[in-house]
Amino acid sequence: MAKPKKIELEPPDHKRCQAEKPNGATFMTLGGVPGLVRCANVPVVILTERNPNQKDGAIGCMSLCLDCLAVFHKQMNMKHYTEKRIR
């Protein structure tokens, strides 16, 4: 089995949420290119993986605002993450 490739992780940003949201453009909108944009809200929590990622062996973390945290709670299993308030 191949060794996981080491990657540089971006540290948590204490000034801006690190979640990416759809930009609202679809193939049906004229002139818009579908994609993601980074959330501009102020983060209130840092989420950290409990165990290293199986693909790269790294333990990632990211900052989220309240709105993005609510979406994260709906979509992800929280037993794999720790949550630390920053504000």
2 pLDDT exceeds 80? no
The model's pTM: 0.78
Model confidence pLDDT, tens digit, residues 38-78:
999 999 999 999 988 777 788 889 999 999 999 999 999 99
How many Å apart are CA 52 and CA 42, to the nearest integer? 27
CB atoms within 10 A of CB 65: 19
How many Å apart are CA 77 and CA 36, to the nearest integer? 23
Average pLDDT of the chain to the nearest whole number: 86
Could you give the 3-state DSSP secondary structure of residue 4? coil
Domain boundary assignment for the chain: 20-85
